[in-house]
Structure 1
C-alpha cells in the first residue's frame, strides 16, 4: 500500500508540476502577445506620424502657393490704393475750385425750351 500511496503522491506532484508549467507557458504566451501588440502599436504610430508629416508637407506646398497668391493680391491692392490716393491729392484742389465756380458763378439765362406766350 505504501508504494501505491507513493505512486499517487508522485502523480499528484507530476500533475502539480505540469499545471505550473502550463501556467508558466500561459504567462509567457501572454507576455509575447502583449509585447507583439506594443510593437504593432508602435509601428502603427510611426506609420501614422510619417503619413501626417507627408500630409503637412503637401499641405504646406499647396497653401504656400495659395499664400503667395494672397500676398501678391494684397501687394497689388495696396499699390492701387496708393495710386488712387496720389491722384486724389493731386486733383483735389482743381475739382473743388471747379465745383465752387459752378455753384457760385450764376449766369441767369432763359432755358432754350421756355416759350413765351404772346
Structure 2
C-alpha cells in the first residue's frame, strides 16, 4: 500500500509539474502575444507617420503652387483696380462736362419726320 500511495504521490507531483509548465507556457505565449502586438502597433505608427509626412510634403507642393497662383491673381486684380481708378479720376471731369453740355445746351429743331402743312 505504501508503494501505491508513493506512486499516487509521484503522479500528483508529475501532474502538478505539468500544470506548472503549462501555466508557464501560457504566460510565455501571452507575453509573446503582447510583445508582437506592441511591435505591430509600433510598425503601424511608423508607417502611418511616414505616409502622413509624404502626404504633407505633396500637399505643400500642390497647395503651395495654388497659394502662389492666388497671390499672383490678387496682385493682378489690385493693379487693375488701381489702373481703373486712376483712369476714372483723369476722365471724370471731362465726361461730366460733356454730359452737362449735352443736357444744358438745347438746340430746338424740328424732327426730320415732321411734315409742316399750311
TM-score of the superposed pair, with normalisation by structure 1: 0.95
List aligned pairs for 1:12-91, cutoff 5 A: 12-91=12-91
Residue 113 of structure 1 and its aligned partner are, at CA, apart by 2.4
Residue 71 of structure 1 and its aligned partner are, at CA, apart by 0.9
Q: Can you list the C-alpha shifts for 1:49-107, whole angstroms capped at 9, x where unaligned?
A: 10111011001101111111111111111100000000111111111111111101111
Q: Can you list the C-alpha shifts for 1:9-29, whole angstroms capped at 9, x where unaligned?
A: 111011111101111111111
CA distance in 2, matches of 1:97, 1:114: 31
Moved more, 106-115 or 62-71: 106-115
5+ long unaligned stretches in structure 1: none
5+ long unaligned stretches in structure 2: none
Q: Residue 116 of structure 1 aligns with which residue?
A: 116
CA distance in 2, matches of 1:99, 1:24: 105
Aligned structure 1 segments of 4 or more residues deviating by more than 6 angstroms: none
Moved more, 53-62 or 105-114: 105-114
TM-score of the superposed pair, with normalisation by structure 2: 0.95
CA distance in 1, matches of 2:53, 2:3: 74
Q: Residue 95 of structure 1 aligns with which residue?
A: 95
Q: How many residues align?
A: 118
